[in-house]
Amino acid sequence: MAKRTRVKDIFTGRIGQEYRVMGWVRTFRNNQFIALNDGSCLANLQVVVDFENTDPDLLKRITTGASLSILGNLIASQGKGQSVELSATEITVLGDCDAEIYPLQPKKHSLEFLREIAHLRFRTNTFSAVFRVRHALAYAIHKFFNDRNFVYLHSPIITGSDAEGAGEMFQVTTLDLNKVPKNDDGSINFKKDFFAKATNLTVSGQLEAELGALALSDVYTFGPTFRAENSNTSRHLAEFWMIEPEVAFNDLNDNMDLAEDMLKYLISYALDNCAEDLVFLEQRLTEEEKVKPQQERSEMALTEKLRFCLDQPFERLTYTEAIEILKNSTPNKKGKFQYPIEKWGADLQSEHERYLVEKHFKKPVILTNYPKEIKAFYMRMDDDGKTVRAMDVLFPGIGEIIGGSQREERYDVLLSRMKEMHIPAEEMSWFLDTRRFGTVPHAGFGLGFERLVQFVTGMTNIRDVIPFPRFPGNAEF
């Protein structure tokens, strides 16, 4: 058996040469033309069948969804739409597919329907394109950091601490939920649990990344994170992947520079390496937007929007400046915001973030120096005692794509912040130790990987950019 050649490589193959291809039938037209796809690229390979000399029983088994191994000769295409095609000399059915009951008919299916058959949706143009782009972005992230001498640190998935202090965690336990051991005071006796303490799935690898950065200087994590927040939105998942660089000796400005460089690098990597898929996804999005009301449509096509983000510096401003803009904005005055902005201190909702990015500045925005009350305990306190050195990067159509900060490196200040915010300092002596033994200024951030993939692919719902989404009420597959 000749070795398999990927469909992608067939398109640059040699005319007259014999190749073996394997893949799935997308369509079979006139008992003569098979559109074969193996996921290596968007395009199908046209395979020409000599139907007069082919066993009719075999022809009947060539149905949409069936998997085939085909030997044939590469010829210049007679028809329109492709440059080459394979003239089949031998066809073997690897797996039959009953077209009557196969859920993926050769027609347009809604994304909602495809989400229900997520085990098969990889076989559609849209999802194969999305997952190839997702792969390219994951690879580019490692390349970006490797080229800059960062160390990839694997932070634990099971932890005993709440890195964000937000309490939206999934518990990890081997206790029998029908017979939970109790202490005398009625509380749960976690001493009897697997780790002899209460544990949960991590919400962020940041605290561990900080420990690494205070020795290796430049580190990043890239792993799954979990949040039990009950948000059924198009931008939240219960299980998502986060990239968290952490850099010793960096301040907030360095942190913003790193975030901006990284996002621009990743977007241009996708433009350079995923052109075929992005053109397809752009057409898909344009079609999708046609049914939307005029004012909700994006003013730019997908790749134009991506290039637009590369061409100019992101707008940098403080939370305080942003609040002034929002307070005086037309939607705020006309009562168009669901959460009106009345005074300094208000937490920003996605509607406000998107107003700043899409309407006011019309480019990506980095907001800094938020009120300490609405940010995590580890952010460095500003001299005014009111704001912290936080930064959120806001993107068109997405809102917050990155959240980060310069960290509080001063032992006393950190300890008192932890007490103020009821963070159990006793249990986190390991974290405080870095501030006791050779502390340094440092900064880092978290990029939500799926939000990045959403932005680059133009997919509207975050559930469509991760193979098997987890969200409230759903852990299928």
Binding site for ligand 4AD (CB under 6 A): 163-164, 204, 206, 227, 229, 236-237, 240, 242, 244, 400-404, 444-446, 448, 450-451
Could you give the 3-state DSSP secondary structure of residue 160?
coil
Q: Which option in ligand 4AD, Mg ion, none does residue 85 bind, with CB closer than 5 to 8 A by kind?
A: none
State the amino acid at position 368 in one-letter form.
T
What is the C-alpha to C-alpha distance for residues 477 and 469, in angstroms, rounded to an integer? Answer: 9
Q: Which option in Mg ion, ligand 4AD, none does residue 469 bind, with CB closer than 5 to 8 A by kind?
A: none
What is the C-alpha to C-alpha distance for residues 450 and 235, in angstroms, rounded to an integer? Answer: 8
- Of the pair 238, 274, the CB lying nearest ligand 4AD is at 238
Q: Which option in ligand 4AD, Mg ion, none does residue 133 bind, with CB closer than 5 to 8 A by kind?
A: none
- Of the pair 121, 463, the CB lying nearest ligand 4AD is at 463
Could you give the 3-state DSSP secondary structure of residue 477?
coil
Residues 377-416 that bind Mg ion (CB under 5 A): 403
In this structure, the number of other CB atoms found within 10 A of the CB of residue 449 comes to 23
- Of the pair 91, 137, the CB lying nearest ligand 4AD is at 137
Backbone angles phi, psi at 98, to 5 degrees: -75, 105
- Of the pair 72, 403, the CB lying nearest Mg ion is at 403
- Of the pair 207, 323, the CB lying nearest ligand 4AD is at 207
Q: Which residue has the tokens 């098979």?
A: 34
What is the C-alpha to C-alpha distance for residues 304 and 443, in angstroms, rounded to an integer? Answer: 32
- Of the pair 164, 218, the CB lying nearest ligand 4AD is at 164
Q: Which residue has the tokens 């005014």?
A: 384
Smallest separation, CB 380 to ligand 4AD (Å): 12
Smallest separation, CB 325 to ligand 4AD (Å): 21
Q: Give the contacts of 381 (CB within 8 A, at least 6 positions apart).
A: 372, 388, 389, 408, 413, 417
Q: Which residue has the tokens 């972005």?
A: 137
Smallest separation, CB 403 to Mg ion (Å): 3
Q: Which option in ligand 4AD, Mg ion, none does residue 239 bind, with CB closer than 5 to 8 A by kind?
A: none
- Of the pair 446, 458, the CB lying nearest ligand 4AD is at 446
Q: Which option in ligand 4AD, Mg ion, none does residue 240 bind, with CB closer than 5 to 8 A by kind?
A: ligand 4AD
What is the C-alpha to C-alpha distance for residues 6 and 40, in angstroms, rounded to an integer? Answer: 6
Residues 223-242 that bind Mg ion (CB under 5 A): none
Smallest separation, CB 448 to Mg ion (Å): 9
Backbone angles phi, psi at 453, to 5 degrees: -65, -35
Backbone angles phi, psi at 430, to 5 degrees: -60, -35
Residues 71-90 that bind Mg ion (CB under 5 A): none
Residue 294 is given by DSSP the state G
Q: Rule CB under 5 A: which residues touch Mg ion?
A: 403
